[in-house]
Amino acid sequence: MTPGLFFLGPVALATLPALFVSFFLPAWAQVLVFIGGTVASLAILRPIARSHLRMPALTRTGTAALFSLPGNPVSALVAFELLVRPALGAMLGRKAVREPVRARLIEPFTQRRGRLHLVRAWLEHRDGEATVRPLGPHAAGSLGSLAGANAWMVVAPDVERLEAGTVVETWPMLPS
């Protein structure tokens, strides 16, 4: 069987009965990614350990791994980076999805405490040193800053402010 990866968005979910998808798809697909919110895919998924319906969900049915990602494009990409990409890498036998890069922050950054933030950023290598600049705005629906980014700057949940010069972990969006 050839490995299959199938993306199903909200339009397709509205036109394809969940029963059809759950009955026929696992026969040929190894991974199914729903994009468009968990609510639309509840007929197929039995999500594990989630506190509300906006959180990504993952489960298995037959031989297929099923992921349900939020409908917001930026939130869906972040959920993909945190959940789907590592799972696909593990399924392919890869040890690490990407190599993190330690970079010096070139301007201060503030955020609300309480959750892990993957901040859209520009990572640059100059004279043997990596530097990173956060790109804003940071709202979940801000596609402009996402389009200009080439890395995620990882900010721990307990951090409220980072000063310029602080060394932070970054994840390049593309392999280096």
Question: What was the pLDDT predicted at 128?
Answer: 92
**Neighbour count for residue 86 (Cβ, 10 Å):** 15
Q: Which of 91, 116, 150 is the last residue of a domain?
A: 91
Residue type, 103: A
CA atoms of 115 and 158, how far apart (whole Å): 7
Edge-first strand order for the sheet with 64-69 is 5-8, 31-35, 64-69, 57-61
> Residue 36 carries which DSSP code?
S
Say which residue, 28 or 47, is predicted with more confidence.
28
Tell me: do 60 and 27 sit in the same domain. Answer: yes
Tell me: do 20 and 84 sit in the same domain. Answer: yes
Say which residue, 133 or 46, is predicted with more confidence.
133
Tell me whether residue 96 is in a domain.
Answer: no
Q: What pTM, to 2 d.p., does this model score?
A: 0.69
Tell me: do 34 and 111 sit in the same domain. Answer: no
